[in-house]
A and B are shown apart, each in its own frame.
Chain A
């Protein structure tokens, strides 16, 4: 089943390119350990999901590119075409000549309705190329102007048009010390709107990825391209093919559907995060060997202590002892900074993958009281290695990991709103104070729900 990607704004387009590139490169990576037949099945599965066929054999990404200025889209299109590996469709992009000045309201209330039909037609064309549509990825930033406002509008549109298809928004969480003054307003409005119309919000934090580049990859001058490549690696390790069931060797047909069913069925809990291990520069890779036990131990502690990478993990944080009543357990967890999960999806790729011991992730202490580990924990596997990593593991989790950052953003936005700073820039384009209040209420509710796990 196919996934159609909508790349929005500068952020969405640059990341989208890296994602397709990572997927393509991985699926054509020479594999020493997998049989030829297995490899071909893997390639075919990845191809069906993300690329469509062209007459001269060059795969075309199933993507629609949208931006309000032409520069980034042109760069993205030419980078893909020059690579010779794959490309974007000739008529899959839409851009205008003007920006939106980081104004969310302008993106949502002006650009959105004005260009609704053109964008819808582009998406429709891409959908028609699919034999079967599993759903949509929408890649966008949360705090900018075009990506965020227009992204919220487009997602709502998709909700109306394709109500049965699944929608996952890949959201880029801005740097804590971002330069845009109104980024907190934009973030609040984006999140609240997406919470109503999207099925899952997969959040990538710029700060976290930046640290990975610095500490793990040892990159001295970190560019956006580096950050986006790390991000793409994370997404690839989640969405590349995996076996459909324990013991099967057929590849899963609908990973997006299976992921959503396992992680986000509850309407109040839609925030997802990705962690993967190992992550390192190619030079270091040659000198490292891994065991599943070691990888999983680190990954588990990353989950519990809310660490974003495998360096600098706080090993002091432990799950609470069983037998405590719920309320005291919750306050104890909060004191200990223990990250409670609702549900987790573990994806294992590589050699001896069936021998990995998963008991650590089935511990009920990791999870909230109203969901048993048998329902809350799922694992996908494939023997075929990912990229150049002989063994790799990714964890998609619905947990409390975003409560603090979210609370902080809502708090800052509220302080600004209380003094009505810059609000007129939004009311000028139809976003009323009511809308702000509704958004605050919704996000406060989300924070409260996650806190009382």
Chain B
């Protein structure tokens, strides 16, 4: 946790630190009071709960919008510890803190500063809670895919599970998927209607029409006042963030003193993650199976390769050239495929949600993506994924056929629709 040390004018120093901490506290969504920061330096227990909550809010994959969904303080503390560890946080003392949330404010303050120093944490948080005026749609799902989401409840299967129950659940999932798509189509149709009916109503000519939020503003003055209040508080937060950026140097110097106030960490051996006993047995099994498979493959490949070499060897040097040419062609095709994949997924614009703007045909221009291009990129991505799925399904079918062949005297009837 090092940063450049610069000489600070002592006359400023007295007021600079409180101002910096106040700015940080105002900029952080749900930020603890400046007093909490001060108490944390001295490891006061009353500062701990607020810091645990802040860290949970910062580190949890989905910002918890409704209080009803918040997990218990113990669960929050566990998540904070595990995420920090997975991100490489070096201090052991944090891991050893009790999970009831009663202690450790100094360690938590250090962890918070570590996160602030590493990357644009504040900017990310502010972007998350931004007031959105337009109708937005994501152009990619990579953020959703990358975040792990809440842990799914694990249902222990005691005894056998009837496969019909699994098929039932799978079918339910498919129906929900289809209903979701239908709902999304309806959503889009209605958005299109709002956009086309409010054409020419927007003061911003480049947008041209109102979004649903903006149309609601016109219909509901009370809602408009609430929106104004939200924008004002967002402004205040952004100003605090700017203030913080101006004054943060003083904060980092102060954090050095906090670090010095900690007792020295005894060197501990690095600990390895605990493998469950049951998992270990299965891993053994898998390792042995892989070994056996590899030996089997070797046994099959060697004679084949030898036979091929024998056949080809007698064909003369011209063959070698052809072989090299075909290898090169294959390599080129592979790189082309990979590039097509990346191109399909990697649009020039940044990822994340974009505001929908409906424009007349032929009047394109200005910043932003064109919907038809996005659709084309997504379609090529879809084609790649479908090809991969078909390949995997083909492999499954081959495996089934192999199993079927191994049991003579059986007639296999596939379910309808296969």
**Of B162, B165, B181, B186, which is within 8 A of A164 by CB?**
B181
Decide if B170 touches A265 in the complex (CB within 8 Å). yes
Residues of B within 8 A of A434 (CB): none
Residue from A1, A134, A261, A446 with most neighbouring chain B CB atoms (10 Å) = A261
Decide if A260 touches B175 in the complex (CB within 8 Å). yes
Interface size bracket, A side: 20 to 34
B137 interface residue per 8 A CB criterion: no
- A residues 319-373 in Cβ contact with B at 8 Å: 369-371
Decide if B179 touches A261 in the complex (CB within 8 Å). yes
A165 interface residue per 8 A CB criterion: yes
Decide if B172 touches A265 in the complex (CB within 8 Å). yes
- The interface bits of chain B over 157-169 (1 if a CB of A lies within 8 angstroms of the residue's CB, else 0) are 0000010110111
Residue of B nearest to A376 (CB): B168
- B residues 149-189 in Cβ contact with A at 8 Å: 162, 164-165, 167-172, 174-176, 178-179, 181-183, 185-186, 189
Residues of A within 8 A of B316 (CB): none
Say how far A260's CB is from chain B's closest CB, in angstroms: 5
Decide if A266 touches B171 in the complex (CB within 8 Å). yes
B190 interface residue per 8 A CB criterion: yes
Q: How far is the CA of A164 from the CA of B416 in the complex (A)?
A: 18
Residues of B within 8 A of A29 (CB): none
Decide if A261 touches B175 in the complex (CB within 8 Å). yes
Residue of B nearest to A445 (CB): B413
Residues of B within 8 A of A133 (CB): 182, 185
Residue of B nearest to A199 (CB): B175
Decide if A132 touches B413 in the complex (CB within 8 Å). no
Decide if A267 touches B416 in the complex (CB within 8 Å). yes
**Of A132, A166, A266, A268, which is within 8 A of B178 by CB?**
A166
- The interface bits of chain A over 265-283 (1 if a CB of B lies within 8 angstroms of the residue's CB, else 0) are 1111000000000000000
Residues of A within 8 A of B183 (CB): 132, 254
Given contacts A164-B182, A261-B172, A261-B179, contact A268 B189 (CB under 8 A): no
A441 interface residue per 8 A CB criterion: yes
Q: How far is the CA of A164 from the CA of B175 in the complex (A)?
A: 9
A54 interface residue per 8 A CB criterion: no
A46 interface residue per 8 A CB criterion: no
Say how far B21's CB is from chain A's closest CB, in angstroms: 47
- A residues 290-344 in Cβ contact with B at 8 Å: none
Q: How far is the CA of A268 from the CA of B417 in the complex (A)?
A: 9
Decide if A261 touches B182 in the complex (CB within 8 Å). no
Decide if B175 touches A257 in the complex (CB within 8 Å). yes
- Enumerate the 9 nearest inter-chain pairs by beta-carbon distance, A residue then B residue, closest first: A265-B171, A132-B186, A370-B162, A257-B179, A261-B175, A265-B172, A370-B165, A195-B416, A266-B168
A196 interface residue per 8 A CB criterion: yes
Q: How far is the CA of A265 from the CA of B181 in the complex (A)?
A: 17
A264 interface residue per 8 A CB criterion: yes
Decide if B189 touches A132 in the complex (CB within 8 Å). yes
Residues of A within 8 A of B167 (CB): 265-268
Query: 20 interchain pairs (CB within 8 A)?
Result: A1-B182, A1-B186, A131-B190, A132-B183, A132-B185, A132-B186, A165-B178, A196-B417, A254-B182, A254-B183, A260-B175, A261-B172, A261-B175, A265-B167, A267-B171, A267-B415, A268-B167, A268-B416, A369-B162, A442-B416
Residue of B nearest to A193 (CB): B416
- A residues 110-163 in Cβ contact with B at 8 Å: 131-134
Residue of B nearest to A370 (CB): B162
Listed in ascending order, the chain B residues whose CB lies under 8 Å from chain A are 162, 164-165, 167-172, 174-176, 178-179, 181-183, 185-186, 189-190, 413, 415-417
Residue of B nearest to A342 (CB): B168
Residues of B within 8 A of A268 (CB): 167, 415-416
Residues of B within 8 A of A195 (CB): 416-417
Q: How far is the CA of A53 from the CA of B110 in the complex (A)?
A: 65
Decide if B164 touches A370 in the complex (CB within 8 Å). yes
Residue of A nearest to B167 (CB): A266
Residues of B within 8 A of A265 (CB): 167-172, 174-175
Say how far A313's CB is from chain B's closest CB, in angstroms: 30
Listed in ascending order, the chain A residues whose CB lies under 8 Å from chain B are 1, 131-134, 164-166, 192, 195-196, 254, 257, 260-261, 264-268, 369-371, 375, 441-442, 445-446
Say how far B389's CB is from chain A's closest CB, in angstroms: 15
Residue of B nearest to A441 (CB): B413
Residues of B within 8 A of A164 (CB): 178, 181-182
Residue of A nearest to B181 (CB): A164
Decide if A254 touches B171 in the complex (CB within 8 Å). no
Decide if B162 touches A165 in the complex (CB within 8 Å). no
Residue of B nearest to A442 (CB): B416
Q: How far is the CA of A266 from the CA of B178 in the complex (A)?
A: 15
Say how far A217's CB is from chain B's closest CB, in angstroms: 36
Say how far A329's CB is from chain B's closest CB, in angstroms: 14
Decide if B165 touches A371 in the complex (CB within 8 Å). yes
Say how far A373's CB is from chain B's closest CB, in angstroms: 14
Residue of A nearest to B164 (CB): A370
Decide if B171 touches A131 in the complex (CB within 8 Å). no
Say how far B413's CB is from chain A's closest CB, in angstroms: 6
Residues of B within 8 A of A445 (CB): 413, 415-416
Q: How far is the CA of A29 from the CA of B171 in the complex (A)?
A: 38
Given contacts A370-B165, A371-B165, A442-B416, contact A264 B171 (CB under 8 A): yes
Decide if B178 touches A257 in the complex (CB within 8 Å). yes
Say how far B174's CB is from chain A's closest CB, in angstroms: 7
Residue of A nearest to B165 (CB): A370
Q: How far is the CA of A260 from the CA of B179 in the complex (A)?
A: 10
Q: How far is the CA of A131 from the CA of B190 in the complex (A)?
A: 7
Given contacts A1-B182, A1-B186, A370-B165, contact A267 B175 (CB under 8 A): no
Q: How far is the CA of A265 from the CA of B176 in the complex (A)?
A: 10
Residues of A within 8 A of B170 (CB): 265
Q: How far is the CA of A336 from the CA of B172 in the complex (A)?
A: 32
Residues of A within 8 A of B174 (CB): 265
Residues of B within 8 A of A260 (CB): 175
Residue of B nearest to A133 (CB): B182
Say how far A369's CB is from chain B's closest CB, in angstroms: 7
Say how far B197's CB is from chain A's closest CB, in angstroms: 14
Say how far A46's CB is from chain B's closest CB, in angstroms: 18
Q: How far is the CA of A375 from the CA of B168 in the complex (A)?
A: 10
Given contacts A196-B416, A267-B167, A370-B162, contact A254 B179 (CB under 8 A): yes
Residues of A within 8 A of B162 (CB): 369-370
Q: How far is the CA of A80 from the CA of B93 in the complex (A)?
A: 80
Decide if B186 touches A131 in the complex (CB within 8 Å). yes
Q: How far is the CA of A176 from the CA of B343 in the complex (A)?
A: 62
Residues of A within 8 A of B185 (CB): 132-133
Residue of B nearest to A265 (CB): B171
Residue of B nearest to A195 (CB): B416
Q: How far is the CA of A192 from the CA of B162 in the complex (A)?
A: 26
Decide if B182 touches A132 in the complex (CB within 8 Å). yes
Q: How far is the CA of A196 from the CA of B418 in the complex (A)?
A: 9
Residue of A nearest to B179 (CB): A257
Q: How far is the CA of A267 from the CA of B167 in the complex (A)?
A: 8
Q: How far is the CA of A47 from the CA of B167 in the complex (A)?
A: 35
Residues of A within 8 A of B176 (CB): 261
Residues of B within 8 A of A369 (CB): 162
Q: How far is the CA of A370 from the CA of B162 in the complex (A)?
A: 6
Residue of A nearest to B178 (CB): A164
Say how far A101's CB is from chain B's closest CB, in angstroms: 29
Say how far B187's CB is from chain A's closest CB, in angstroms: 8
Q: How far is the CA of A442 from the CA of B167 in the complex (A)?
A: 18
Known contacts A166-B175, A446-B416, then 19 further A-B pairs from the complex at CB < 8 Å, ordered by chain A residue: A131-B190, A132-B185, A133-B182, A133-B185, A192-B416, A195-B416, A195-B417, A254-B179, A257-B178, A257-B182, A265-B175, A267-B417, A268-B416, A370-B164, A370-B165, A371-B165, A371-B168, A441-B413, A445-B413
